[in-house]
Structures are given as C-alpha cells and as structure tokens.
Chains A and B, each alone.
Chain A
Amino acid sequence: MIGNGIPGGGDIAIGFDKNARRGLLLVSPTALYALALLAAPLGAIVLFSFWTQDFLTVDTTPTLNNYREAFANPLYALLMGRSLLISGAVTVVTVLLAFPIAYYVSFYVNPRHKSLWLFLITIPFWTSYLIRVFLWKVILGFNGVINSSLLELGFIEEPLTFILYNANAVVITLAHAFAPFAILPIFVALERIDRSLLEASRDLGEGAIRTFFRVTLPIAMPGVIGAILIVFIPTVGDYVTPRLVGGPEGAMIANRIQVEFLRLNNAPMGAALAVIAMVLVTFVSLVIVGLNRLWLGRKS
C-alpha cells in the first residue's frame, strides 16, 4: 500500500517495460539474423574443429588432433605468420597514407566541400571488390600498365616481377581496397577536435609539430585505432586478393582454409585453422587496443 502511494510509480514501471519490449522488438530481426548467420556457423566451425575427417564420414569423437597437427606442421605456421605480416603491412601502409588524406579533408578543405570530398573518396566502392582486384592484375602484370609504361619510357630493360604474384602485390591491392575504411574513422575523429584546442596549444608556446603530437594525435587516436582494427581484422582472413594477385608466395591462411574445406575435403582441419586465425586476430587486436591505452596513459 505504501508503494502504491508514490504518485505515478506504477506507471513508470509499466512504461519502462513497454520501452524495453519495444526495444527488443526493434532489435529482434537483426538479432535473429545475426544468430542464424553468425553465431550458428561460428559454433559449427568450433564444433567441427574438434572432430576428425574419416575418409567420407566425420568422426565426432572430440579430439585436439587438428590443433596438434596445425601447430606441428610448419606450413600452417608459415601461412599464419605470413597472413599476420601481410595484413600488418597493409594496415601500416593504409593508415599512414589515410591519415594525411583525412587530415587534409578535415583541416584544409572548405567545410562546404567536405562531403563532396568524402563522396569522391568512396568512389572505388562503386565497382565490385573482385573487379578492382582484377584491375590491379592488369596494372601490375608482366605486360601490365606499369611495366609497359616503364619499358616504353626506357626506365627498365625487362619487366619488373616483384610487383605481381607475391606478397607485395597483395599489400598494394589490399591497401587500396581498404583506404576509405581507414580514412573515414580518422576523418571523423579529426572533425571532432575543437579547433580552439589547437590554438590553445599554440598560445601555450608549442609550434605546429608539437601541437600535432601533443594535442591532435592523442585526441584523434580512437579514430586511428578504429582504422587499424577495421583494416587489420578483415585483411588477415582475406581470400580473394592473395588468390588472384598473390601467387604461391603471397598465399595466406584463408587460401589454405579453402583448400582444406573444398579440395582436401578436410572440414575439421579447415575449421581448426579458422579458429586459430580468429583467436590470433582477437589477440593481436587486444594487444593493439592495450598498447594504445598504455600510450595514452603514459601521456596522461
């Protein structure tokens, strides 16, 4: 009875429930979709990784043999290491090139033209990813745009071979493909910086370069970290680019997973490799986030 005495108390509780229910209703299609197409396959992959392929059937006795094999065979370690290395290189190249572009658009482009610039930056997305990778093949190939131009101009005697069918080609192609993904979060982070902070730094005696490292970069760091993760995480598992421009030297872990699943008909082994790749990516991402915390912590 005392509780009922609070004016509107009951109404508030009901209203809250209603809101919560409406919220659940709103997210449920997406949630179900994610559950069916993300969580379920992920669970299946994890499950499969503990099973064994027995010629045409799958032996469902739980075992760690796939993982033992994955760690014992140097081929897997090589592919995994190369994947991390290539995607690390892609990340570094992409973010280092994206930052100046984002900085330019944020700080130097007339505010009225900023959206036009962002629009232009996303133009590469107008063509399919596959076509873009193929185009890089045309550009980088033995008789490609670069080689024939350089030969024609007399800069080289014979076609350059270090730009196609190896890791370099993969880095170049992926860096181009992921550039907008890196530019946008950095741009957003830079846009949010109150310009008077930069003036305050100048006013307190710091020049342009010190101001960048003491104010601009630390405040934009969440955007940079976002860009790093957005580029790094999907490129580790990229399959199309290494397949098309990587050659044998540029093959990455995803290519091997495909081979295990489809050609060797060893789904459990492929699943184990996929799980290991996921765990490694998660680990590296956490390290990146942790290092950033440490760096910002040291600054503050």
Chain B
Amino acid sequence: MTDPNRRQIISLRDVQKHYGSYHALRGITMDIAEGEFFSLLGPSGCGKTTLLRTIAGFEDVSSGHVLLDGRDMEGVPANKRPTNMVFQSYAIFPHLSVAQNVGFGLRKRSDLDKSAKSALIAEALGMVGLDGYGDRSAQALSGGQRQRVALARALILKPKVLLLDEPLSALDKKLREQMQTELRRLQRHVGITFILVTHDQEEALIMSDRIAVMFEGQIAQLASPQELYRRPVTQQVANFIGVMNFLPVEISMGQGGSIDLDIAGLGRTTIDSAQCPGAIRPGLGQAGLRPETMTLLVDGEDADGHLAEGQVEELAYYGDMTYYDVLLDGATVPVTISMKNLTGRQVLDRGARARVAWDPRALVVFAE
C-alpha cells in the first residue's frame, strides 16, 4: 500500500497557515502517492479541512510548499489546479439540471462536440449509478443522489486528485455505510488519488490506504489503518481511533531491547520494544489494551497465557456483542472488554467475579 516506487502526486513541505493570530496549520510535511486513498482524520478544528482547501487552492499557504505532480502550486488559483472537490454541502447548482451540473466543467473542452460531451456526461452518471437522471432538476434529488452528482461532476474532469470534504457526514447511517463501500470501489475503478477529510475514525479505517491523524494543526500519526489501530504513537491518537483501555504502568528497561512492565491490575510482563512506536523511557506510563484483545472467561474455560481477575461493574448488551466494564483487582479504573455473543456463550451478570485472559503482544505503552 505504501509502495515507495509509486509516484508521489502530492507533496507538502512544511505547510503553515495563519489566520491572524490563529495558527491553523503548523508545519505539515507529507507525501501522497498516485492512486492512493488517503484520509485526513481529526476532530473538528484540527485543520484537516483547511489543509484540504490549501491543496484545492481555496486557501493560500502562509509559508511552505504544496506540490501537485511535482509542480509548485504557489500562485496557481483553484480553477487552474488539477484537483477537483466534492464539497461537504455538495454544492450542486440549483438552477441547472443534473446533466448540466455534471457537465459544468466541460465548457472549456473545445476538443469535444456536443454529442461527445453528452456521452461523457452519460458515462459519468453511469459510473455513480445515476443512469437516466440527466434531465432531472438538481433540486429534486435526495441527499445521496446529490452526492453522486457531485462525484460525477468532479470525476468527469479526470482530475489527478479528488478531494472529498466530509462527503458522507450529511447522510444517514445506512446510506453512509453503503456509500463508503461504493466510494472505495469507485476509487479502485478510476485509479485517481482520493483525499478524504473526515472526523469519523471508523469511516477512515474502512476506506483508506493510509490515514493522517491531525490534532491542532499538526499530523500526530501517518500510517495504514491497521498500524494506526494497533500501534498508535500517542494516547491522543489511541483515544481517537476506536476505544482503548489505559492502565497505569511502571516501565523499566530490560535486556536486549525488551521492556519490563508492571501494570496495575494485570501484573508483571515483558514486551519487545518494537511494540512501542512512541517515545519510551523508564518511569511511570500508561499501558493501552483494546477491548477485543481481552477475553472474559466463563466457568470451565481456561487461559494458556496471562490471567487477571476482577469484578463486572457494568455491562451493555448490543445483541451481537456485550461490552463489560470490569474493575480488575489492584486497578482503580475499570477496563472495557468486548465479547462476541457466540452461540452458547454465557453473558455474565453485574457484580459477578470475572477472570480475564489477556495477551502482552496486544499492549501499547505510552510514557508519561
């Protein structure tokens, strides 16, 4: 996925953006490869949309460089850049029909006659599953259809990069999930680099080849979805991507690149230093464990490895899953454990004693 031989289509070099005294982008440096599905993920106000608009040409950079396909974009206005955008509001022209919306950017293509343009429009509409919608008024469309029109309108121009600004946030859950799959399929089909801005970590994980997690105008971590989920470099990233339990830990350096840990509620263990992508040093820290990496054992079950004990404080039954809050003996805050409700698996009651099996390989350690 991060093949170094692939051509870099976008290169950002120490991009800074100031709005008066507000420092929106604080030195963004990264490369995005051709054909990649790339996500900018972060909470609102982290600068992800500003960064996208900087690439599109709607915002100037205060300093630094934006290179598109090797060309410095300084002073190049949005209408001259090889990028197209799907806006959060979709920005469908209300006074035009669907076909005219999709064909809006074709005016300059003097090499195409009217029938060639119509064919392109029909093809673009077909690509997003809106065959035969060309004559409809843009105002008569549903949210999902508007989004498809916005996609077709951008893709018809065959941009080098397609920018998507929270394109799914206005859709209801079912439609959003459907569009996530569809967008991914579409991206593979056209092979164009997609840059998606989202605050939805699940969406980013599902769709992206790589994700840049942003906080306060900076990239906290840039990695593949699996890497990001399994090996977050800071507690902030770990908290933002999915759920992670944190337990106080005493860190001491072992021999041969190993790290000795004494974790509240879980006990002593040793892990490999490669398991800690973030900065690590002896002293106090936090040990992170994802809810699904722990197993709540029921009567008769036994663990081969590490075992801890505690009490079920709270549980939430979701049908397919049950989420338990378990206070481990020796810990002060409960950990969340998710269990699949497999056939025959008993759901524990509140207040029940619990034995928890866990695996040191799933640990992520953060120094304080």
A and B together in one complex: yes
Q: A residues within 8 Å of B by Cβ?
A: 194, 196-197, 199-207, 210, 214-215, 218-219, 296, 299-300
Name B83-104 residues within 8 Å CB distance of A: 83-85, 87-89, 91, 93-97, 100, 104
Q: Which residues of A contact B78 (CB under 8 A)?
A: 199, 202-203
Chain A residues near B87: list those with CB within 8 A.
196, 199-200
Find chain A residues with CB under 8 A from B104 CB: 201, 204, 214
Query: Which residue of B is nearest A207, CB measured?
Result: B79
Q: Which residues of B contact A214 (CB under 8 A)?
A: 104
Given contact pairs A204-B84, A300-B97, A199 touches B91 in the complex (Cβ within 8 A)? yes
Partner of A196, one of B84, B91, B95: B91
Q: Is residue B107 within 8 Å, beta carbon to beta carbon, of the partner chain? A: yes
B96 touches A299 (CB 8 A): yes
Q: In the complex, which residues 105-142 of chain B have their Cβ closer than 8 Å to any Cβ of chain A?
A: 105, 107-108
CA distance A197 to B84 in the complex (A): 13
Which of A202, A296, A299 meets B77, CB within 8 Å? A202
Which residue from B84, B95, B100 sits with its C-beta under 8 Å from A203?
A: B84
B205 at interface, CB cutoff 8 A: no
Task: Assess the A215–B93 pair: CB atoms within 8 A.
Answer: yes
| Chain B, Cβ-Cβ closest to A299 | B95
Chain A nearest CB: distance from B192 CB in Å? 15
Given A199-B58, A200-B93, A205-B105, output 15 extra A-B contacts at Cβ < 8 Å.
Answer: A194-B89, A200-B91, A202-B58, A202-B77, A202-B79, A203-B56, A203-B58, A203-B84, A203-B85, A204-B153, A205-B108, A214-B104, A219-B93, A300-B96, A300-B97
24 contacts between A and B (CB under 8 A): A194-B89, A196-B89, A196-B91, A197-B94, A199-B78, A199-B85, A199-B87, A200-B85, A202-B57, A202-B58, A204-B84, A204-B104, A204-B153, A204-B157, A205-B79, A205-B80, A205-B105, A206-B79, A206-B107, A214-B104, A219-B95, A296-B95, A299-B96, A300-B97
In the bound complex, what is the Cα–Cα distance between A299 and B93 (angstroms)? 12
Among B79, B85, B100, B157, the one with the most A-chain Cβ atoms within 10 Å of its Cβ is B79
**Pairwise interchain contact A218-B95, C-beta atoms closer than 8 A:** yes
- In the bound complex, residues from chain A placing their C-beta under 8 Å from that of B94 are 197, 219
Contact among A197, A206, A296, A300 for B91, CB-based, below 8 A: A197
Chain B residues proximal to chain A, CB less than 8 Å: 56-58, 77-80, 83-85, 87-89, 91, 93-97, 100, 104-105, 107-108, 153-154, 157
B97 CB contacts on chain A under 8 angstroms: 300
Q: How far is the CA of A299 from the CA of B94 in the complex (A)?
A: 12
Given contacts A199-B78, A200-B85, contact A205 B93 (CB under 8 A): no
Nearest CB in chain A to that of B88: its residue? A196
- Provide the bound-state CA to CA distance between A202 and B93, in Å: 13
CA distance A32 to B353 in the complex (A): 81
> CB-CB < 8 A to A202: which residues of B?
57-58, 77-79
A104–chain B nearest beta-carbon distance, Å: 21
- In angstroms, Cα B153 to Cα A201, docked, is 11
Contacts of B89 in A (CB 8 A): 194, 196
CB nearest neighbor in B for A218: B95
Give Cα distance in the complex from A96 to B266, angstroms: 78
Question: For residue B157, which residues in chain A have a CB less than 8 angstroms away from its CB?
Answer: 204-205
- What is the CB-to-nearest-CB distance from B57 to chain A, in angstroms, rounded to a whole number? 8
A283 to B329, CA, bound (A): 89
Complex alpha-carbon distance, A218 and B96, angstroms: 10
Residue of A whose beta carbon sits closest to that of B95: A218
Return the chain B residue nearest A198 by Cβ.
B91
How far apart sit A121 and B107, CA to CA, in the bound complex (Å)? 39
For A203, A206, A219, A296, the residue with the greatest tally of chain B CB atoms inside 10 Å of its CB is A203
Q: How far is the CA of A196 from the CA of B154 in the complex (A)?
A: 14
Q: Which residues of A contact B83 (CB under 8 A)?
A: 203
Contacts of B108 in A (CB 8 A): 205
Residue of B nearest to A200 (CB): B91
Cβ of B79 and Cβ of A203 under 8 Å apart?
yes
Tell me the complex Cα distance, A155–B313, Å. Answer: 94
- With the chains together, A194 CA to B146 CA distance in Å? 15
State the CA gap A196–B92 with chains docked (Å). 9
Tell me, rounded to whole Å, the shortest Cβ–Cβ distance linking B3 to chain A: 29
- In the bound assembly, the distance between CA atoms of A196 and B88 in angstroms comes to 9
**Smallest CB-CB A-B distances: 3 pairs:** A204-B105, A200-B91, A196-B91
CA A205 to CA B84, docked complex, whole Å: 9
Report B-chain residues with C-beta under 8 Å of the C-beta of A199.
58, 78, 85, 87, 91
- Min distance, Cβ B119 to any Cβ of chain A, angstroms: 19
Chain A residue at smallest Cβ distance from B58? A199
- Find the residue from A199, A200, A218, A296 having the highest chain B CB count within 10 A: A200
In the complex, A218 Cα to B97 Cα: how many Å? 13
The interface residues of chain A lying within 8 Å CB-to-CB of B80 are 205
Closest to B150 in A: A200
Q: Is the CB–CB distance between B91 and A194 below 8 Å? A: yes
Shortest Cβ distance from residue B232 to the other chain A in the assembled complex, whole angstroms: 34
In the complex, A199→B86 CA distance in Å?
11
A204 to B157, CA, bound (A): 8
Contacts of A196 in B (CB 8 A): 87-89, 91
Nearest CB of chain A from residue B220's CB, rounded to whole Å? 28
A201 to B56, CA, bound (A): 12
Residues from chain A with Cβ under 8 Å of B91 in the complex: 194, 196-197, 199-200
What is the chain A residue whose CB lies nearest that of B138? A300
In the bound complex, residues from chain B placing their C-beta under 8 Å from that of A203 are: 56, 58, 78-79, 83-85, 154
In the bound complex, residues from chain B placing their C-beta under 8 Å from that of A210 are 107
In the assembled complex, the CB of B54 is this many whole angstroms from the nearest CB of chain A, namely: 13
* Nearest CB of chain A from residue B181's CB, rounded to whole Å: 25
Contacts of A206 in B (CB 8 A): 79, 105, 107
Q: Which residue of A lies closest to B78 (CB)?
A: A202
Inter-chain CA distance A203–B79, complex, in Å, is 5
Point out the residues of chain B lying under 8 angstroms from A218, CB to CB. 95
Q: How far is the CA of A116 from the CA of B327 in the complex (A)?
A: 61
